[in-house]
Amino acid sequence: MDLQTARQQVTELRGLLNQYGYEYYVLDQPSVPDSEYDRLMRELLELEEKFPELKSADSPTERVGGFVLDKFEKVVHEIPLLSLGNAFNEQDLRDFDRRVGQVVGENYSYVCELKIDGLAVSLRYVDGLFVQGSTRGDGTIGEDITFNLKTIKSLPLRLRENVSIEVRGEAFMPKRSFEALNKTKEERGEEPFANPRNAAAGSLRQLDPKIAASRNLDVFLYGIGDIGESGVVSHSEGLDYLDRLGFKTNNERRKCSTIDDVIEFVNSWVERRPHLPYEIDGIVIKVDSLAQQGELGTTAKSPRWAIAYKFPAEEVVTTLLDIELNVGRTGVVTPTAVLEPVKVAGTTVGRASLHNEDLIREKDIRIGDKVVIKKAGDIIPEVVNVIADQRTGKEMEFHMPTHCPECESELVRLEEEVALRCINPKCPAQIREGLIHFVSRDAMNIDGLGEKVISQLFSEKLIVDVADLYKLTTEQLLGLERMGEKSVSNLINAIEASKANSLEKLLFGLGIRHVGAKAAKTLAQAYGTMDKLAAATEDELKMINEIGEKMADSIAAFFKNEEAQELIKELKSAGVNMEYNGPMPVSIEDSDSIFAGKTVVLTGKLERLNRNEAKERIEALGGNVAGSVSKKTDLVIAGEEAGSKLTKAGQLGIEVWDEEKLLEELNK
């Protein structure tokens, strides 16, 4: 067979396979038997193997998973993937409706959709071809999982129109696939996945796409990141447009004219949800008009035009076998219920926090009791109540100890606190938890130093405090379980890199009581260096905006402590940075910057700055960077491929700059 004939056959085979795949995986209306689909796929594979120059990124053969990846690359979302605010009852929904009406008036409607319990993903197409897929991540930066997403057969590799578009959806594992996967894992003696959501996330974060391909994932698309030139003016139109492009959307959606219609739709699914072939954990309600969505805008975390109704938590009965005690980073001793394992909301639960002694007394919880368990927000297990009339008389009352279960120091209850606390600064449990906090993402962000590694280093007495992390050697780490040369090298490099972190990261990592990440940045900006902060008095600290009396007392007490002083000295000797090296805030009153007091929106791709850098520099000059364009927007910065935000700015008559103009003003 010559190349021209082969090309013709390959084109025909791809067309047939794409059509049959769409009918089977999207429409659920197969027109040919599986054997015919498999025969055509084998024929295409053979032709592509014989003529490798005919392979292409949109071929159905791409779905089998080609090669193993070294790592996941980071992807910056041009338009952030915001999380949704939650509603837990009818009143929450009516309050949401009232807030919407106050902004947009009386003429508006909603679209209700099932909230699929999976992994949020972003898909990017250029001229109709799927070029990149990524996880939601923190909403701003995700991970590139393109090759794993290609294995999802309902996800089109080429659209029906040659458009460039970025769309959002939820990748998930159907119940049938989940049950088959766990059966296989159990037969192999492996730990089964807790629920389909974890299974889907774990499958899509495999470096070998063949693993993802074997797990039969699916995806529903629920939105367009940038409407662009599509002419779509409402969310419901956007979903119809996705259908026309060949995407799989969820048909169980309804347009509702009133909040009463919304509540009726929500209630109709409370009982019906177990009969679906996939897991859902609620209903998403969105204002339909895109113009009204823009008018409502967003907060830093979530859109004001959408809300997620979470279904009432499933409640089950089990036996409370024991109560264990855990000592946290700040010395608080927390009782934890040890339960007879029971399945709740899709996962097997064996433990639940009891918070403090007062709660145990209030609910009269005893060891041996039959108890009602639920998951708060379908996530955190908690004991709802005791079934007292099922007591046999063998149940035992629980009393909190007088001494720390880890170090045997006397426990104290500080004024106005319900918790018992160990105040021994050398308590092993507190030190271990403090180390875990120090290396966490929002603190020093030392990649590779997770809870298990920290616990191992601590039990081997290789680290006693955070300064010891900077004394670790390659030889010491190679002696640990499951630590090879490459992972040790990466860990040593990550520890070394953390020395350059700005002061606020270190301050937060030190775990000063009452000092969170935001307060740490405020303090770092106010004093600039560790030495100046350490010398500050309580009265001086209280003069700083957002630093209250409790926090000021706690900070002053920390720096007066001799052990804290010695620790900081050791960190200095290790070369850990003690200065703030981030942008300084400028008050509106003191700033002569053009950004002071203005609301700025960034859109499109910037060449010389990334989005986070631009945001930080604008905010440092007194500006406020928002996620969407509205009447309140003062300025839009438009990079390459700017879409609907730029269009809307033109419609509203908002001033628009390019990147050169932005840099010119920033550099002033």
Reduced 3-state DSSP string for 179-193: HHHHHHHHHCCCCCC
- Collapsing DSSP states into helix, strand and coil, what is residue 602? strand
- Collapsing DSSP states into helix, strand and coil, what is residue 603? strand
Q: What distance in Å separates the CA atoms of residue 66 and residue 173, rounded to the nearest whole number?
A: 21
Of 632, 645, 663, which is closest to residue 103 (Cα–Cα)? Answer: 632
Helices (H) and strands (E) in the chain, counts: 24, 24
Q: Say which of 115, 374, 375, 645 is annotated catalytic.
A: 115
Per the CB < 8 A criterion, the answer to whether 514 and 554 are in contact is yes
Scan for tokens 């590779």, then name that residue. 448
- Parallel, antiparallel, or unpaired: how do β-strands 635-638 and 599-603 relate? parallel
Q: What distance in Å separates the CA atoms of residue 265 and residue 452, rounded to the nearest whole number?
A: 45
Q: Given its phi and psi angles, is residue 449 left (phi above 0), alpha (psi -120 to 50 degrees) or beta?
A: beta
Q: What distance in Å separates the CA atoms of residue 430 and residue 572, rounded to the nearest whole number?
A: 23
Q: What distance in Å separates the CA atoms of residue 125 and residue 207, rounded to the nearest whole number?
A: 22
Per-residue DSSP letters for 488-529? HHHHHHHHHHHTT--HHHHHHHTT-TT--HHHHHHHHHHH-B
Per the CB < 8 A criterion, the answer to whether 523 and 507 are in contact is yes
Our answer to whether residue 542 is catalytic in this structure is: no
Structure tokens at 103: 């902004």
Q: What distance in Å separates the CA atoms of residue 333 and residue 407, rounded to the nearest whole number?
A: 12
Which amino acids are annotated catalytic?
Answer: 115
